Amino acid sequence: MRLLSKTIVFIFVLALFQTASAKWIKRDSNTLAWLKSIHFIGENTGFIGGSGGTFLKTHDGGKTWKQTPKFTQDNILEIIFTDKNTGWVLCERDVYSLGSKSPSYLMKTTNGGKTWEKIDFSGSHRQRISKIFFAKSGFGMAVGETGALYGLQDDNYTWKKLSPPSLYLMLDGVFTDDLRGTIVGGGGTVFFTEDAGTTWNPAYVADKSKAKLNSVFFVNKRNGWAVGSRGKIYQTINGGKFWRVLNSKVKENLNDVYFLNTAEGWAIGDGGTILHTKTGGNVWKVENTNSEHKLEEIAFNGKKGWIVGFGGTIMSYESGNKSTSQRPRFRNR
């Protein structure tokens, strides 16, 4: 009986040690490109996009990443696949080579990334697009400068300009189902919709700082988090109508946020900042990353987490918990 008790205690202590020793590990990217987005379409297949048309692919769950033949020379800001065949890439031209062209455009694939077709935003003029996001139904929206708002039409090809709810720069958005969604941006702006983006209503944010919000994430229809400049983190428990302030204990700009469930989540930002919480955001711990690079995007594929950023930065992390959340941008992530 005494031997059994000692064995149980040993296993418990070992589990605690393994949990405590888990950390983010740098991976070889073989590039110094500014990596902006990472997306997996299964256990083994994933993509990373970045500056100068950098487009990395893995076939072994991220053990190795290889540059694919470039289908654009412009910066890749985001990669999203709505199914294993249909994918979208948001691209941005260099400001010094724009000419009369629009700064932003899309590339679309219908064969899993073997070939890509260029698609322009209808009537975008000089507005830069910051982010695209999708509902489960496949309906997509795009947001950007001066409140730019676009909706994907029924042909699953054309993006039509819509009436913006604000003139602030909008930086991110999510759908939690086919009707409900949230967008965030400059000036601490948060809007929510309950009719698939036909109308947008201003949310109440319990903070007067008006910090720029860079990313928003929902783990289900009610529970969400948003992060932004000067270490700001906000939380909602009612679907995005009301947001309370959380104490991150840092002043660095935060660029992305991801939650595995309603308790455990991560926020990343400038200067290699990585924050971790196991209390739904009430308490955040700063992780030691030995990196000073700007971190752009975080994603989870099963139990493994991934971060990409400036200078070819790729990091991975083995979590004790498998992600139960479905990122409404299909970065599922």
Q: Residues for the chain: how many in total? A: 333
Report yes or no: 91 and 78 within 8 Å, Cβ to Cβ: no
3-state SS assignment for residue 266: strand
The pLDDT of residue 258 is 98
pTM > 0.75: yes or no: yes
Per-residue pLDDT band at 32 (split at 50, 70, 90): very high
Q: How confident is the model over 120-160, as pLDDT tens digits?
A: 998 767 889 999 999 999 999 999 999 999 999 999 999 99
pLDDT at 324: 52
Model pLDDT for residues 201-234, shown as the tens digit of each residue: 999 999 989 999 999 999 999 999 999 999 999 9
Q: What is the pLDDT of residue 95?
A: 77
Q: Which superfamily does 22-318 belong to?
A: YVTN repeat-like/Quinoprotein amine dehydrogenase (2.130.10.10)
The residue whose two tokens read 């679907």 is: 239
Please give the Cα distance from 225 to 45 (Å, whole number): 28
Res 288 pLDDT > 80: yes
Residue 321 has pLDDT above 90, yes or no: no
Residue 205 CB neighbour total at 10 angstroms: 22
Distances (CA, A) of 121 to 31, 215, 314: 30, 22, 31
Contact 79, 87 (CB under 8 A): yes
| Distance (Å, whole) CA 9 – CA 221 | 39
| Alpha carbon distance 94, 103 (integer Å) | 8
**Domain segments of the chain as ranges:** 22-318
